[in-house]
């Protein structure tokens, strides 16, 4: 979603009115079991997929079958998604609802080592003997920009694209927030029951620990990003079994964890 904005364009030869596309940003409220759970600033679009991917990342669901109902509150123009979990799933994750934000907001007042240990204890490591040709991985990361129409219009959107082991694109999403783009791309596959085919994630952004957390929950073994990972992301990806790589300054990749998957 984007809007057209009129502004003043200054340049050495003059000053005139001009128009540009600017990216949309609105709150999305997610309600679980009738209660407020989170409010996310995001680019409108793919609300159901976004909420699904977010709930997977938070550990509230593992598959679409854990969801009893998911819907926009008041039709397509709403900024609220309501989710009810099936009773057996609610029995498993009820404590998570009571301690909302224990993972996603715990970076305040907790050290990096404790945070990594906490996340590793709650997420099952990714184990796979997947091997991908490094050159083809590089090419798909380079081609990510070709799947970013919102970025071309607004110069302000992040993207996440997910591929299977044969480099067939499974989903792609754009958003003002890199976390949101990833949640949308993952959530689309959860809704379609195709997440198990995901092998490669390409990101337009850097890789932070939150992006590793979300990718590990989605069981996607390889992350390729335009920018470098943070140290905490590397520390988390290693025990969780994720491969992280990013562009170098020329025409190659830096591979930070589990390099055996890129051949």
Residue of 108, 111, 137, 246 with catalytic role: 108
Integer Cα distance of 67 and 51 in angstroms: 11
Q: State both tokens at 91.
A: 């029995």
- Which 8-state DSSP code applies to residue 207? B
Q: Burial letters for 151-189: b for 16+ Cβ neighbours within 10 Å, e otherwise?
A: beebebbbbbbbbeeeeeebbbbbbbbbbbbbbbbbbbb
Burial of residue 127 (CB within 10 Å: 0-12, 13-18, 19+) is exposed
Residues whose CB falls within 8 Å of the CB of residue 216, separated by 6 or more in sequence, listed in order: 123, 125, 126, 236, 237, 240, 241, 242
H/E stretch holding 35:
strand 35-42
CA distances from 6 to 1, 19, 20, 39, 215 (A): 17, 4, 7, 29, 38
Cα dist from 170 to 44, 126, 134, 162, 202, whole Å: 21, 19, 19, 6, 12
Respond yes or no: is residue 137 known to be catalytic: no
Cα–chain-centroid distance for residue 255?
20
Per DSSP, 68 falls in state E
Catalytic site residues?
108
């Amino acid at each position: 979603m984007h809007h057209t904005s009129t502004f003043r364009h200054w340049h050495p030869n003059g000053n005139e009115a001009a128009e540009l596309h600017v990216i949309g940003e609105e709150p999305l409220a997610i309600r679980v079991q009738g209660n407020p759970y989170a409010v996310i600033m995001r680019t409108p679009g793919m609300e159901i997929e976004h909420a699904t991917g977010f709930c997977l990342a938070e550990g509230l669901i593992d598959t679409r079958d854990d969801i009893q109902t998911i819907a926009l509150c008041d039709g397509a123009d709403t900024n609220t998604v309501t989710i009810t979990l099936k009773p057996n799933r609610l029995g498993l994750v009820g404590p998570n609802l009571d301690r909302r934000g224990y993972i996603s907001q715990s970076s305040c007042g907790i050290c990096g080592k404790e945070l990594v240990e906490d996340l590793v204890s709650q997420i099952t490591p990714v184990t796979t003997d997947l091997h991908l040709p490094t050159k083809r991985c590089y090419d798909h990361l380079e081609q990510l920009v070709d799947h970013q129409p919102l970025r071309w219009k607004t110069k302000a959107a992040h993207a996440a694209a997910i591929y299977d082991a044969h480099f067939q694109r499974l989903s792609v999403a754009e958003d003002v927030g890199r976390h949101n783009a990833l949640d949308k791309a993952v959530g689309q596959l959860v809704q379609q029951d195709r997440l198990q085919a995901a092998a490669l994630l390409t990101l337009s952004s850097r890789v932070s620990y939150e992006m590793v957390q979300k990718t590990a929950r989605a069981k996607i073994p390889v992350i390729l990003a335009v920018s470098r990972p943070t140290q905490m992301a590397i520390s988390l990806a290693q025990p969780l079994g994720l491969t992280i790589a990013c562009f170098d300054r020329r025409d190659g990749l830096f591979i930070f964890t589990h390099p055996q998957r890129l051949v």
